[in-house]
A and B are shown apart, each in its own frame.
Chain A
């Protein structure tokens, strides 16, 4: 067992009268990959926003790298090593690829090290380097995904949060971006990935949590979850929200919120 880098303890969160997260507890160890599964509107994005400090929990504690960060601002959390690849990527379309990457380093002032990190990201994603001066909105879906991950890495996170990174990507690109997450984790970056695409997520994750209407209904080692009948039933009974096989892309339906492709 890894030493827990992130701990959510008995978190409750509300949007006005709506109780979205119910007594939610979860852990991510240093360098671990953990997936958070669940159907539409069950509170996955809200969980990530709570970790990042964009949603204030009504009760519960968040501990990161040994410090209670529950009352901290987002920027303090980002400085301490939390970064996110948001749902739908949310790149800055009119800004260039290069500027998007620089925005990821917004809170850093170490010019030198920022340049080194830029060089490293361009080396890892030569496509981005070729398109450095191009507006982000002109990139293909796969390139946008690379840029979204690259932008998040520019803050040198210890913990990377990803909100449905597979959404809208062709199966091959999904495999690629999940392989990248594995590589990051080998380099010591912990990953918490929210997915509706349970099959791929469980392939790379060591552990997983399953949310249902804001509550953790199932948790454990990925291998165990894959085999879990309850998990299969829970999702198969909700239609094709989670597609076990074959790997699809796009979504069956969306209950709420932003449609994919809304911001390009």
Chain B
């Protein structure tokens, strides 16, 4: 036990990386929920597609990188492609599945989401087979590069993931809290009909919300690939579930909540894996979630549950 405790600082550091990724995924859930009161359970699959787009771009750039294309350019290309591709995918899902189902039965969007999840999983399975695909992150960043503080080592990849995640979070909160579009987005979350009465193009803003959330999931997919160096077609299942859990833990609909929930969840998972046992880590993580929700049913930043028409 004493030996595993000595891993604690390292596990905290690792947990931060994982947490940053969960936070990016959780933000997508919370954004969409905050605007539409809809749980987009296809979100994890969008993240998986983002990881594959990153993989695809990296494979394409492989020769160029080997020939001396700077790694940061390669990474930028991966991120842009994944964010664009996933943003489009999110908008498409909203337009083709959620919008037609919006005013039907309450459970219809949920079933729609499960349908999309299967379509995306199997689509990627067909294109890429069931093998785990290796991400050659060393093409972007030398694996040896890193940063040490006492016994704690953070690889450059992990640092980069945390840095980029924070940058995206900052950009998102500027967008949501400081721009006209963000104001409209929050107004629709509060009262879509009243927003329409002021001339807000509600459907367009809803689309934009899906683009935003999905783009963040795409970025998360690329970042995860850099750290864990492999992608496969079912990687979105657990990540989606954990992103959702993080959003609920933070208080679904709350953006600061999604960030905090993601970080807490990542750290809890990493610490319980490294210090206690990998076998029980999910048990511990979800146990913590259940206890947290018993104490604070609406999550850390959640408002008191209010009925929504």
Q: Which residues from B are CB-within-8-Å of A54?
A: 196-197
| Whole-angstrom CA separation of A245 from B28 in the bound complex | 54
- A106 contacts chain B at the CB level, 8 A cutoff: yes
- B294 contacts chain A at the CB level, 8 A cutoff: no
- B96 contacts chain A at the CB level, 8 A cutoff: no
Q: Would A103 and B196 count as touching, CB distance under 8 A?
A: no
| Whole-angstrom CA separation of A75 from B198 in the bound complex | 7
| Whole-angstrom CA separation of A104 from B201 in the bound complex | 13
Closest to A137 in B: B190
Q: Would B199 and A107 count as touching, CB distance under 8 A?
A: yes
- B79 contacts chain A at the CB level, 8 A cutoff: no
Q: Which residues from A are CB-within-8-Å of B184?
A: 103, 106
Contact digits for B201-228, partner A, Cβ 8 Å, 1 yes 0 no: 1000000000000000000000000000
Closest chain B CB from A197 CB (angstroms): 22
A79, A90, A93: which contacts B197 (Cβ < 8 A)?
Answer: A90
B189, B191, B200, B309: which contacts A106 (Cβ < 8 A)?
Answer: B200
Interface members, chain A 58-83 (any B CB < 8 Å): 74-75, 78-79
Instruction: Say yes or no: A103-B197 contact (C-beta < 8 A), given A92-B187, A93-B190, A95-B186.
Output: no
- B183 contacts chain A at the CB level, 8 A cutoff: yes
- A192 contacts chain B at the CB level, 8 A cutoff: no
Q: Would B190 and A155 count as touching, CB distance under 8 A?
A: no
Q: Would A90 and B199 count as touching, CB distance under 8 A?
A: no
Q: Which residues from A are CB-within-8-Å of B275?
A: none
Interface members, chain A 221-264 (any B CB < 8 Å): 258, 262-263
Q: Would A99 and B183 count as touching, CB distance under 8 A?
A: yes
Q: Would A79 and B191 count as touching, CB distance under 8 A?
A: no
- B194 contacts chain A at the CB level, 8 A cutoff: yes
Q: Would A155 and B198 count as touching, CB distance under 8 A?
A: yes
Closest to A85 in B: B197
Q: Would B193 and A90 count as touching, CB distance under 8 A?
A: yes
Q: Which residues from B are CB-within-8-Å of A263?
A: 190-191
Q: Which residues from B are CB-within-8-Å of A149?
A: none
Q: How many A-B residue pairs have CB under 8 A?
A: 62
Q: Would A78 and B190 count as touching, CB distance under 8 A?
A: no
- What is the total number of residues of chain A having a CB less than 8 Å from a CB of chain B? 25
Closest chain B CB from A46 CB (angstroms): 14
Q: Which residues from A are CB-within-8-Å of B199?
A: 74-75, 78-79, 106-107, 155
Closest chain B CB from A75 CB (angstroms): 4
Instruction: Say yes or no: A75-B201 contact (C-beta < 8 A), given A92-B190, A92-B194, A262-B309.
Output: yes
Q: Would A151 and B198 count as touching, CB distance under 8 A?
A: yes
- A86 contacts chain B at the CB level, 8 A cutoff: yes
- B180 contacts chain A at the CB level, 8 A cutoff: yes
Q: Would B194 and A86 count as touching, CB distance under 8 A?
A: yes
Instruction: Say yes or no: A94-B186 contact (C-beta < 8 A), given A106-B180, A262-B309, A263-B191.
Output: yes
Closest to A108 in B: B199
Closest to A83 in B: B198
| Whole-angstrom CA separation of A91 from B191 in the bound complex | 8
Q: Which residues from B are CB-within-8-Å of A84?
A: 197
Closest chain A CB from B33 CB (angstroms): 14
| Whole-angstrom CA separation of A134 from B248 in the bound complex | 26
Interface members, chain B 162-195 (any A CB < 8 Å): 180, 183-184, 186-187, 189-191, 193-195
> Interface on B for A, CB 8 Å cutoff?
180, 183-184, 186-187, 189-191, 193-201, 309
> Ordered nearest first, which 8 A-B pairs have the shortest CB separation?
A90-B194, A75-B199, A92-B190, A78-B199, A107-B199, A92-B187, A106-B198, A103-B187
Query: Can you list 9 residue pairs at the A/B interface with Cβ under 8 Å?
Result: A74-B196, A78-B198, A86-B193, A92-B191, A93-B190, A93-B191, A94-B186, A94-B190, A155-B198
